[in-house]
Structure 1
Amino acid sequence: MPWTIRVKRKFNAAHFLTDYHGSPEPLHGHTWEVEVYIDAHELDRGGMGIDFVEIDRFLQETLPDYRLLNEVFEFSPSAENVARWLYGVLKDRYPALRKVVVWETENCGAEYYE
Structure 2
Amino acid sequence: MPYIVRVRREFQAAHYLTDYHGKPEPLHGHTWEVELFIRADKLDKGGMGFDFVEIHKFLDKILPDYQCMNDIYDFSPSAENVARYIYDKVKEKYPTLQKVVVWETKHGGAEYFEE
Asked whether the two chains share a fold, i.e. TM above 0.5, the reply is yes
Q: Which range, TM-score by smaller chain? A: over 0.9
Instruction: Please report the RMSD computed on the Cα atoms of aligned residues, expressed in angstroms.
Output: 1.1
How many residues get paired? 114
| 1:75-108, Cα deviation, whole Å (9 max, x unpaired) | 0000000000000000100000000000000110
Indicate the residue corresponding to 1:66 in structure 2. 66
TM-score for the superposition, normalised by structure 2: 0.95
Q: How far apart in 2 are the matches of 1:106 and 1:24?
A: 15
- Residues of 1 paired with 2:20 and 2:97: CA distance? 30
In structure 2, what is the equivalent of residue 84 of structure 1?
A: 84
1:18 aligned onto 2:18: yes
Give the match's secondary structure for 1:110.
strand
Deviations 1:28-59 (A, max 9, x none): 00000000000001000000000011111111
Gaps of 5+ in 1: none
Answer yes or no: is the 8 Å Cα contact 2:5–2:50 preserved in 1: yes
Runs of 4+ in 1 over 2 A off after TM superposition: 21-24
Describe the shift of the 1:61–1:42 C-alpha distance in structure 2 as closer, same or farther (beyond 3 A).
Answer: same
Q: Give the equivalent residue in structure 1 for 2:33.
A: 33
Q: Which residue of 2 aligns with 1:108?
A: 108
TM norm structure 1: 0.96
Whether the aligned pair in 1 keeps the contact of 2:2 and 2:40 (CA below 8 Å) is yes
Matched letter for residue 8 of structure 1 = R
Deviation at 1:22, TM superposition (A): 3.4
